[in-house]
């Protein structure tokens, strides 16, 4: 009992420090016109051994000892599972017109293929420098290629919403492409984890088959049952306590199942979110009940946990410094360059294409989830983990400056004007957004930069 009490006290102290640090750094990030998530990511690194541990090693170890880190890990996994559930609920289920779907698909592929190819190629060449010796070259290539293919879809949606261009042709195109990018990257991670956790080809097939069956059942039978559930919520006029408990139980059960079959809890949360019916009231209630505690308390714990595993001291050699520069360069060239050319091929101006590339290049929280999952399966060395954390911070911090340089106020206003055009000129279609429909033009009329 005394040991449990001591652990509780230490965990509360650690969470106090985490919440204070992430809140302060998030506020400072906003003051310099950066997304809050950039400050929270930096706060996690500052709390780790490279900064806090260097200044006050005794206190850092006391606050974040092995037992406390285990508690933080569990809390962060709960937070991530519900975070991905909310991300899933924010993806609208309507169908886009063929032209918009094709254009978004081209843009997504333009971001995925170069990023994956450059990442996998770098992993192949520098396998002995970057990879753990017990990870196969093929699996490490899949891991690094997939990690660099990620786009921070939820953060991108928030930036577009804050700029007031979610419902513009540029905003709609970028959001749908980012959703496709992330779906592909999660698919790669599912294969990587399945290979790492399974004993042979049959086990890999069983794991992937189980995940596919789970997704199929949830998105068909599950969606129909949840539609009945949503109608009941609408009749009540609110999400009652017992019905909220049902949602929580469903997410936890889905996370447990996907973890048991060898994928990861976040996949269960995300698929459950996708299965939720497209009902505004239900979405609003879920966001109201889950967002604050999850984003203010539990997700910062995840940033801290990532930071505690980031050891910049391992990057002090010329070799590791060169690897860091290489990975950041590959990440930027593959995603920003690929999306720039892909958007340009769709008829956008160079300025618009650069803005899209800058936003798609942000990796934010999503790559941290990706690499933390991989680390939990011993797929990545501590040096490579640290390199990718720095790459996540750099590419995320680049997003808004690149966007603002590419899209001055007058051009951004032209985008809004395109969204306000008469109904005959644009078509309103549901797409991936934060709770509404996107206005995506049948024809993009690029504005000359």
DSSP state of 95: P
The CA–CA distances, whole Å, from 222 to 207, 250, 283, 445 equal 20, 10, 16, 41
pLDDT confidence of residue 448? 35
pLDDT at 447: 35
CATH topology of domain 73-441: Na+/H+ antiporter like fold (1.20.1530)
What pLDDT sits at residue 206?
74
DSSP line for 310-375: --GGGG-SHHHHHHHHHHHHHHHIIIIIHHHHHHHHTT--HHHHHHHHHHHT--HHHHHHHHHHHH
CA dist 169 and 166 (Å) reads: 8
Looking at the chain, which residues constitute the CATH 1.20.1530.20 domain(s)? 73-441
Question: Do 207 and 261 meet the contact criterion of CB atoms below 8 Å apart?
Answer: yes
Diameter of the chain measured on Cα atoms: 71
The DSSP call for residue 437 is: E
C-beta of residue 186 within 8 angstroms of C-beta of residue 265: no
Instruction: Give pLDDT, residue 449.
Output: 38
Structural tokens at position 62: 């006391």
Half-sphere exposure of 314 (CA within 13 A, CB side): 17
Q: State residue 85 phi and psi, 5-degree precision.
A: -60, -45
Q: Helix, strand, coil proportions of the chain in percent (round to 5)?
A: 80, 5, 20
What's the predicted TM-score (pTM) here? 0.73
Please report, in tens digits, the pLDDT of each residue of the chain (449 residues total).
677 888 888 899 999 999 999 999 999 998 988 888 888 889 988 998 888 988 999 999 889 988 998 899 889 889 888 988 887 787 655 544 566 667 888 898 999 999 999 999 999 999 999 898 888 898 899 889 988 988 877 677 767 766 777 667 777 788 778 877 877 777 777 777 777 665 566 666 777 788 888 889 998 999 999 999 999 999 988 889 999 999 999 999 999 998 887 777 878 888 898 899 888 888 888 888 888 888 888 888 888 888 888 887 767 788 888 999 999 999 999 999 999 999 998 888 899 999 999 999 988 777 888 888 788 778 888 889 889 989 989 998 898 899 989 988 888 887 777 666 654 444 433 333 333 333 333 333 333 33
């Amino acid at each position: 009992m005394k040991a449990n009490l001591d652990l509780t006290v230490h965990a509360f102290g650690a969470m106090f420090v985490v919440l204070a640090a992430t809140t302060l750094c998030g506020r400072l990030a906003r003051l310099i016109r950066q997304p809050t998530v950039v400050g929270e990511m930096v706060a996690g690194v500052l709390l780790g051994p490279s900064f806090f541990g260097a200044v006050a090693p005794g206190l850092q170890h006391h606050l974040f000892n092995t037992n406390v880190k285990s508690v933080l890990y569990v809390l962060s996994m709960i937070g991530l599972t519900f975070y991905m559930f909310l991300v899933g609920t924010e993806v609208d289920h309507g169908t886009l017109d063929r032209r918009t779907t094709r254009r978004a698909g081209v843009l997504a592929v333009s971001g995925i293929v170069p990023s994956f190819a450059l990442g996998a190629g770098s992993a192949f060449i520098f396998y002995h420098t970057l990879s753990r010796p017990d990870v196969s070259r093929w699996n490490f290539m899949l891991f690094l290629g997939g990690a660099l293919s990620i786009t921070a879809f939820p953060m991108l949606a928030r930036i577009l919403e804050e700029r007031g261009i979610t419902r513009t042709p540029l905003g709609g195109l970028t959001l749908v492409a980012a959703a496709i990018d992330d779906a592909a990257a999660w698919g790669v991670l599912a294969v990587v984890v399945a290979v790492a956790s399974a004993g042979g080809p049959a086990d890999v097939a069983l794991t992937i088959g189980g995940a596919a069956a789970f997704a199929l059942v949830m998105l068909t039978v599950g969606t129909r049952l949840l539609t009945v559930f949503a109608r009941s919520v609408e009749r009540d006029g609110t999400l009652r306590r017992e019905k909220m408990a049902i949602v929580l139980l469903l997410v936890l059960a889905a996370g447990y199942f996907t973890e048991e079959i060898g994928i990861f809890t976040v996949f269960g949360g995300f698929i459950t979110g996708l299965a939720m019916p497209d009902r505004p009231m239900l979405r609003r209630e879920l966001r109201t009940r889950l967002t604050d505690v999850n984003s203010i308390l539990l997700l910062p714990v995840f940033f801290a946990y990532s930071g505690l595993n980031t050891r910049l001291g391992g990057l002090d050699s010329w070799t590791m410094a060169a690897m860091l520069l290489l990975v950041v360069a590959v990440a930027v060239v593959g995603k920003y360059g690929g999306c720039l050319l892909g958007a340009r091929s769709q008829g956008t101006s160079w300025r618009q294409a650069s803005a899209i590339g800058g936003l798609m290049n942000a990796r934010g929280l999503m790559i941290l989830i990706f690499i933390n999952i991989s680390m939990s399966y011993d797929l990545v060395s501590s040096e490579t983990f640290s390199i990718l954390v720095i790459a996540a911070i750099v590419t995320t911090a680049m997003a808004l400056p690149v966007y603002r340089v590419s899209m001055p106020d007058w051009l951004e206003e032209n985008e809004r004007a395109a969204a306000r055009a008469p109904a005959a000129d644009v078509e309103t279609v549901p797409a991936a957004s934060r709770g509404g429909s996107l206005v995506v033009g049948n024809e993009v009329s690029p504005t000359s930069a």
